[in-house]
Chains A and B, each alone.
Chain A
Amino acid sequence: MISKVLIIGLDGATFDIIKPWIEKGELPTLKNLMKEGVHGDLRSTIPPLTPPAWTSLVTGKNPGKHNIFDFFKLNRNNYDRAIVTSLDKKSESLWNILNKENIKTGILNLPFTYPPEKINGFIVCGSEAISIKSDFTYPKDLRKELLEKIKGYRQGLNWSYINREDHDNFIKDLNIVTEKLEETSCYLIKRYKPGFFMVVFDDLDRLQHFFWRHMDEKHPMYDKKESKRYKDAILNYYKKLDLVINNLIKLTDKNTLIMIVSDHGFGPTYKEIYINYYLKNLNLLRLKKEKKLQKSLLKKIGITKENLIYLSNSYKLNKLIRNIPYKLKVFLNSNINSSKLNDSNIDWSGTKAYFFSHSGRGIMINLKKRQINGTVNEGKEYDVIRDLIINELKKIKDNTTGKKLIKNISKREEIYKGPYKGNSPDLIVEMEEGYIAQEGIGKEPIMPSKQGSAYKSADHRMNGIFIAKGPNIIKNKKIRNANILDITPTLLYLLNIPIPRDMDGRILKEIISDYNLKKLKYAKPYNSEEIKISSAVKSIDY
């Protein structure tokens, strides 16, 4: 009988690197968990991205039903993108269902929970709350308590170390933030004893984005000297997380169900592709006249941020740019015209389609009914343009290897089902491994990986991780075909709670030692109006 649930999220964790390290004996806690329970890849959402993926994990639903597709959403008043928050989520989450069964829930540092909602238990938001001065907790008073009890409380990394490429301080900061998150987890578990507790260590994702190149000799950003110092940075952090997991497990008993999950996998990116370059060549995207574009003197003589980055692939130039003082870098960053697209360099009246966001990997059609300066009619014209883009982009090949670049390009209705699928980009691009779709036009359509000022060398992949151990969980078994949508329905079944019929995931029967169809109970689908009615009745002021 399961008495409690502990879910530990490792943002971006992948068995591709965990397994070889386990074999070498580097990660004993994860090794034991896998031996005493089940494990397997956990297929992410399309695209494999933090906002839709974590939200699908805790709702059991595809983004078409919960409405979180990306960090950004379309701003209908202009072509800027608006930031997505928890207020955009249109589905109940696992904790709402558990609360109805009187199970107290505690959520710590789970992405896309800010602003925090009212629950039976607590929600403590992470770095998306921006500042510890904001109301980043529910209940509100918990904020004050945490700041008092956890000395030097931290809400996320100091971003300036990434911008400065100050590797040593970045690692130091990462370790401090992780220790504080561990301390906060222990404090909250001991103090509030929630029946369900979930914490996400999200900075693993950042570390892998920026440090992958140091352990990959094939990477275009690999630097032998730097690698000597930082090649074990990712391994060392996994080892630290292994210890943290061990410490959190010490707070549980034998009747606790433990799950280790990640929202997506990770892998190196060697080349970036400029989708807008191709859309421009197809006459679907038009830039304003060059005269208007070339405002800055630097741009006039051919210097753009992308050019500098492109040139800096030569080791000496690379080193030179790295050594530019931070303040000068900030100045250049803001003063050198980027060829990235924005309102000022796209001629929207001549544009039918554009790459909406690097993170969401989506192409948006410039629809008359939707965008402020839309040019495309709904219906036949929309369909023809989408088919044209799919056919043309699928043909693209990397000239140096002859291999195709795009694994798949799908219409949104082929991926998403549900009332909010219309809020997704119109087409979703899935790149082949090693390539990443980038915003901007690009000097060339395909360039070596070196994304803007952030210097990322790796990005998300489809297979995250799943490990589970506890009562009724089979021991020492590897499973296949687990999907991020399956976590919530599986948990509900294990806790003997009816599963809402509108969930898209399945019960992972293969992990359960005594799976019994008779125990399976369903609940009616989530109905937001019913919730509103019952909350309105409760709040009628007599």
Chain B
Amino acid sequence: MLDSNITTISIPKVLADKIKKRMEGTGFNSVSSYVVYILRQVISNIEKDGKEDNKREAFSEKDEENVKKRLKSLGYL
């Protein structure tokens, strides 16, 4: 029976062969499990970086007020 939680993705044969070679002697028992491991690592890091970026703010509230004061001096507010 097909597992509905699994989907098939195509990758170039040359790449699959490279992975097979790298897998030899490691704990990975299939190209799929190797590729899934890499993707999980990368995606998790992208999401972690994204969360950090979202938390990053240019100014504190007080600084933002100072920016507004400066723009007001320039006649922009």
Contact = CB atoms under 8 A, between A and B. Distances in A.
A87 B76 contact: no
A163 B68 CA distance: 14
Contact of A159 (B42, B49, B73, B76): B73
24 contacts: A71-B71, A83-B59, A83-B67, A83-B71, A86-B58, A87-B57, A87-B58, A115-B56, A127-B70, A128-B67, A130-B63, A130-B66, A130-B67, A159-B69, A162-B73, A209-B74, A357-B76, A358-B75, A454-B73, A454-B75, A533-B42, A533-B46, A536-B46, A537-B42
A209 B59 CA distance: 27
A156 to B, nearest CB: 8
Interface in A42-97: 71, 83, 85-87
Nearest to B71: A71
Given A159-B70, A163-B73, A359-B76, 9 more contacts: A86-B58, A87-B56, A128-B67, A159-B69, A162-B73, A454-B75, A535-B49, A536-B42, A536-B46
Contact of B49 (A131, A162, A539): A539
B41 interface: yes
B72 interface: yes
A536 B66 CA distance: 35
A131 B73 contact: no
A281 interface: no
Interface in A148-180: 159, 162-163
B58 A209 contact: no
B62 to A, nearest CB: 9
A454 B72 contact: yes
B33 interface: no
Instruction: Return the 8 tightest CB-CB contacts between A and B, nearest first.
Output: A454-B75, A536-B45, A85-B58, A159-B73, A536-B46, A451-B75, A359-B76, A456-B75
Contacts of A71: 71, 76
Contacts of A250: none
Interface of A: 71, 83, 85-87, 114-115, 127-128, 130-131, 134, 159, 162-163, 206, 209, 357-359, 451-456, 532-533, 535-537, 539-540
- Tell me which of A130, A163, A358, A359 has the highest count of chain B C-beta atoms within 10 A of its own C-beta: A130
B68 A206 contact: no
- Tell me which of B49, B58, B66, B72 has the highest count of chain A C-beta atoms within 10 A of its own C-beta: B58
Interface residues of B, number: 26
A90 to B, nearest CB: 12
B64 interface: yes
A476 to B, nearest CB: 37
Nearest to B74: A454
A340 to B, nearest CB: 9
A444 B56 CA distance: 44
Contact of A536 (B49, B56, B73, B76): B49
Contacts of B42: 533, 536-537, 540
A539 B45 contact: yes
Contacts of B64: 83
Nearest to B68: A83
Contacts of B46: 532-533, 536
B45 A206 contact: no
A128 B76 CA distance: 14
A452 B72 CA distance: 9
A87 B64 CA distance: 14
A85 B53 CA distance: 13
Contacts of B48: 536
Interface in B8-66: 41-43, 45-46, 48-50, 53, 56-59, 63-64, 66
A540 B56 CA distance: 21
A444 to B, nearest CB: 19
Contacts of B49: 532, 535-536, 539
B72 A540 contact: no
A114 B76 contact: no
Contacts of A358: 75-76
Contacts of A454: 72-75
A487 B75 CA distance: 29
Contacts of B59: 83, 85, 130
B69 to A, nearest CB: 7
B45 A209 contact: no
B73 to A, nearest CB: 4
A86 B56 CA distance: 11
A461 B54 CA distance: 36
A131 B72 CA distance: 17
Nearest to A133: B63
B58 A131 contact: no
B74 A206 contact: yes
Contacts of B43: 536
- Tell me which of B64, B66, B71 has the highest count of chain A C-beta atoms within 10 A of its own C-beta: B71
A269 to B, nearest CB: 10
A160 B57 CA distance: 27
